Structure 1
């Protein structure tokens, strides 16, 4: 019987791999910064004087975003071209169905004139200024997509931080068609007799839209902090005020306060005006534009608050403000509107030689910024924990 230990076993030969220049680690390698690492704060830069640590990081992120904007835009366009080429190849090989062509909307402009009053710059935070700019973008987008667009959309008192926002983030807005950027207040551009300020605090209700009038929408995002500000301003100037007849057609779960484009804050609704001019039917316009969560019959069946409790702020007809869900939903709509308006503007610029548009800020950029903020918060928390343990 053969000894099992004497059986010849095949042992593979291991050849040592010599260290080459590509595999060896140099003794002194250059430090490569993480792409999200912010540069150091320049102590001689007056922009950083008097700012806290978080404010300095926020300013650095904004500067970096502007510096890399063109590079990101080129990468996005290249990515879009690559996807179109791949889809075209799949269609030619019969592996994918061709995309339906976009139908051009046949527009019949109306005589309706709408003014967005942007004289409330000093009453809004920077985040609210950004949201206001996004709502204006959605108004432009909705007007271009409407079969019955307005005769003119005027942005009055265009200056201050709202103008700075468009000059830095949405430069192509200056080429929008059908939009007038007027630095003057609306009372200087139009006669008092033809102005009607739309506000939820007005006692008069509109039965129909008069195309000989100029309807003013308050351009303010304040989460209902400043009560009756648009109404009081109009009364002081001797201008007619009116509210849309929402209560005559639908039951709202809270106050009948609507954003510039269509959501819910102390503003009025541009999209509803467009829908009414299209259908000449208030109820149909309200149902198509106002989010379902605003209706009274849907109260208690929507999303819950982040703390897990149900929404109680909108019970009854006399609610003083919006619920947390309303505010969260409106912010989501504003972000979607920003992307939607910018994408339409980009298409116009590509196809029509630069007509219209807004600078696209993609979801990846927003996600990266959010991740950076979270990383900053986590880093500060770790530093505090470490100091506490050392103490």
Structure 2
């Protein structure tokens, strides 16, 4: 009877004895040995094939197993990435659907034409019952072409905010002379400017309204604005001044003995430490309007200032600073 070490295994034409690959050959019956009688080149090829196929601790087998593990690990990693992307896309799709349903519910599923008509009706009603906001464009001679372009962009943002407001103002551009640099920039930069629901006139606000109804808003005023009166006309100086010509709007208002006011930034906000140590109460006209519009709807100065005063001005609400 043959021992375990002498047992022979014949597979794919190769003879493997005790874990060692031998060249296939004629079996010598009962001896556990093989004699090689075939041609050397053919049998050597078969031996190499067997060594690569049966990876029992050989060096080539170790490399193959390691390669196999790397492939499986990369495949599992890629499957995780694909699964995560699918999950993220699904969540984003559900979020968009929920937002779309919410928007449709808020708009009562009105068509764009109906919504446009509602906006037009709301704005025209403001002309009769809401406060008026005039942008004084008589100071554009103090500005460069770049500053005039920035002012035209601010007018566009101001009008856009007013259209979306639940309680809009009526907007009036005074000192708006046809063919002037500011007129040309407004038409060039703002699509549909001729269809804006607001008044434009070359006349001065001084000639349009009683002086006792005018409140000139300027950051240099000593009087903080307490409330918004729908029977008043609030005037903003249409001035983008990168060189900061101080008290220009205040001087103009004082020349005509007009009532002046500033936003109550000092009353509700405090200076916030920043790297540049920069603090300014001078806002763009659209930012001032955002404050006025939010206050007119909420009757809350903290909410209004939070909505209109950007963090870059160096101010935060008092309760936030605590």
The higher relative CO (CA closer than 8 Å, separation ≥ 6) is in: 1
Structure 1 residue matching 2:302: 3-state secondary structure: helix
For 1:166 and 1:118, the matched residues in 2 are separated by 12
Distance 1:96 1:288 in 2: 26
1:62-116 CA-partner distances (Å, limit 9, x unpaired): xxxxxxxxxxxxxxxxxxxxxxxxxxxxxxxx99965714644887656111000
Query: Which of the two has greater strand per residue?
Result: 2
Distance of 1:297 and 1:171 partners within structure 2: 35
C-alpha change, 1:126 and 1:250, in structure 2 (3 Å) is: same
How many equivalent pairs are there?
Answer: 200
| 2:230 aligned with 1:205 | no
* Contact 2:153 2:189 (8 Å CA) reproduced: no
Alignment of 1:209-358 (within 5 A): 209-253=228-272, 254-262=279-287, 269-296=288-315
CA gap 1:146/1:96 in 2 versus in 1, 3 angstroms: closer
**Is the contact between residue 217 and residue 236 of structure 2 (CA under 8 Å) also seen in structure 1?**
yes
Residue of structure 1 equivalent to 2:189:
169
Name the residue aligned to 1:53: none
- Residue 296 of structure 1 and its aligned partner are, at CA, apart by 4.3
After TM superposition, give the deviation of residue 120 of structure 1 in Å: 1.3
Query: 2:269 touches 2:316 (CA, 8 Å); kept in 1?
Result: no
Provide the TM-score with structure 1 as the length reference: 0.47
| TM-score (norm: length of structure 2) | 0.57
Could you say which residue in structure 2 is the equivalent of 1:135?
A: 154
Rounded Cα–Cα distance in structure 2 between residues aligned with 1:95 and 1:143: 32
Alignment of 1:36-75 (within 5 A): none
> 1:323-357: per-residue Cα shift (whole Å, max 9, x none)?
xxxxxxxxxxxxxxxxxxxxxxxxxxxxxxxxxxx
Give the equivalent residue in structure 2 for 1:156.
174
Match among 183, 202, 219 for residue 202 of structure 2: 183
Larger Rg: 2
Aligned equivalents of 1:163, 1:232: Cα separation in 2? 25
Give deviations 1:128-176, integer Å, cap 9, x for gaps. Answer: 11100000000100001111111x1001101221001123333521111
Cα contact 1:197–1:242 (8 A) shared by 2: yes
- Structure 1: gaps of 5 or more residues: 1-93, 263-268, 299-391
The structure with more helix, counted as a fraction of residues:
2
